[in-house]
Chains A and B, each alone.
Chain A
Amino acid sequence: MNMGSFNDEQLAFFARITASVTHELNNVIAVINEVAGLLGDMIEDIDSAKSVTPEQLTKIRSRLSTQVARGQTIIKRLNRFAHTADEKTLTFDLVAVMDNLTGLCERLAGMKKVKLDFRPRVDSLVISGNPFFLQQCFFEALRLVLDSDCAGDILTIDIRADSNSANIAFSGLDGSKIEIVKSNTHKLEAIMEEVHGRLQLVDADRSLVLSVPLTQQQGRPPQ
């Protein structure tokens, strides 16, 4: 790890992601626990001379496999996320990093009854900078949008590039305006400054866009 120390805001971001993801992992374990219990109930049934059918066992296996796959996906995402804090500056694929973070944020959005629809305009977008800080920007922008008064249940996240910058756009829920509380944007604006980027509402306030330079985006120095 060559990242230096995190400040309070960065730690809070890391903690929020970790808390949300571990809550989801706990649900996976809770389901596996119940499936194991259900199997125990069936064994008890055999003891009382009732039979367990192959269909019942197949269903148990399927339920377990589903939860194991779900758990593996969550752990893989969290692991990738954790490693983005390894180095202060990296050359990395912005699409892959944000795709991963979108997956980690699904539960947070789900708690607001919002579904995240990750639709980058490009398959990959290699940039140079600090992936951890950019994810913090993404996360704060997502929180702003989720806390806005928008109606609807689908939030589209789009990534595209122009000649100098990479742009991450959060589009209005069901095409509605993003009614962001301006007084809540200071934190995000401050972080965007650190990555030499900017925050803007475009398309008649239907999209919140984070723009960052394709290169030389160093981020905040270690403290």
Chain B
Amino acid sequence: MAKIRVLIVDDEEELVSILVERLRFRGYEAVGVLGGNEAIAKALVQEFDVAVIDVKMPEINGIETLRRLKKIKPSLKIILLTGHRAEDEGEEGLAEGAFDYLIKPVNIEDLTGKINAALALENRE
């Protein structure tokens, strides 16, 4: 069975590095990048099933990254990461086509649960 391909996008380098490590430990094919522009460049050359994107990032924020990724990869499932009391941003992301959002710090089981749910929904569609 093919591994689920996940792109992690966050400007917090250490967080990206560990999330990638932990997802790989769980059998996912995970890749990390440190910003929206890098995420778009990566998505143009590599296929992903799910992107996990932090909302608060320099240059282009998570919502704008979502919009641009959806334009070039409409089938890509996107899960947003927001800070505390930032549910509005999560809701805005949902309106823009995100599958769901999680509030940082995230529990890895919650994250993998969302990733799997996003793809299960795709398989049903």
Contacts and interface: CB of A to CB of B under 8 A. Distances in A.
Interface stretch (B13-21, B91-99, B113-121): B13-21
Given A112-B58, A113-B59, A26 B84 contact: yes
Interface residues of A, number: 21
Chain B interface helix/strand/loop/mixed: loop
Given A26-B83, A34-B22, A111 B14 contact: no
A46 to B, nearest CB: 13
A41 B58 CA distance: 31
A196 B108 CA distance: 54
Interface string A59-74: 0000100110000000
Given A26-B84, A30-B105, A113-B59, A38 B15 contact: no
B74 to A, nearest CB: 28
A37 interface: yes
Nearest to A37: B108
Interface in A26-83: 26-27, 29-31, 33-35, 37-38, 41, 45, 63, 66-67
Contacts, number: 50
A110 interface: yes
Interface in B31-86: 56-59, 83-84
Contact of A113 (B12, B19, B58): B58
Contact of A41 (B14, B22, B84): B22
B104 A111 contact: no
Interface string B1-30: 000000000011011001101100100000
A23 interface: yes
Interface string A190-218: 00000000000000000000000000000
Given A30-B12, A31-B14, A67-B14, A38 B104 contact: no
Contacts of B18: 31, 34-35, 37-38, 63
B83 A23 contact: yes
Interface in A14-34: 22-23, 26-27, 29-31, 33-34
A113 B59 CA distance: 7
A45 B25 CA distance: 9
A150 to B, nearest CB: 16
B58 to A, nearest CB: 5
Interface of B: 11-12, 14-15, 18-19, 21-22, 25, 56-59, 83-84, 104-106, 108
25 contacts: A23-B56, A23-B83, A26-B104, A27-B12, A30-B12, A30-B104, A30-B105, A30-B106, A31-B18, A34-B15, A34-B18, A34-B19, A34-B105, A34-B108, A37-B18, A37-B22, A37-B108, A38-B22, A41-B22, A41-B25, A63-B14, A67-B14, A111-B56, A111-B57, A113-B58
